[in-house]
Amino acid sequence: MLQVEAGHGLFASLRKLLATGVDTLKTRLELLSIEIEQEKLRLFSALVYFGFSLLLLGIGLLFLGALLVLLFWDSYRIVALASMTLVFILGGLWLLQSALIRLRAPGGLFASSLSELTKDSQELGKPI
């Protein structure tokens, strides 16, 4: 009879350990989903700001170009147009290259989840 109680106690401990593991996994998955949602909102917000800034900068550059052409209309209008075109194209290419470099850089999308999983594994005695 004593063995049945010990087995029952072992089974209860195993169930409790399994329940703790499931709760920990649930918590980590909730953290992961929250991080994904935060990243999605951050990217959408950045894209909206980026779009409006491009619109305003484009309009501003258009007016700047028109102003420079009008300033040099009598003497150097071809040089003014060519130099502005060159500056805008080179600036656009530089910004495009910078954007591509930033997109290829590693991000911190799941940094919190990874740190929590590292803490969990260290508490269990197995470093990741």
Per the structure, the complete domain to which residue 75 belongs is given by 2-124
Number of separate domains in the chain: 1
Confidence of residue 7 (pLDDT cuts 50, 70, 90): low
CB 23 within 8 A of CB 101: no
pTM of the predicted model as reported, rounded to 2 decimal places: 0.47
Report the pLDDT value the prediction gives residue 2, as an integer from 0 to 100: 44
> Rg of the Cα trace of the chain?
30
DSSP annotation string for 52-93: HHHHHHHHHHHHHHHHHHHHTTTT-HHHHHHHHHHHHHHHHH
For 99-114, what is each residue's pLDDT tens digit?
888 877 766 666 676 7
Residue with more model confidence, 105 or 39: 39
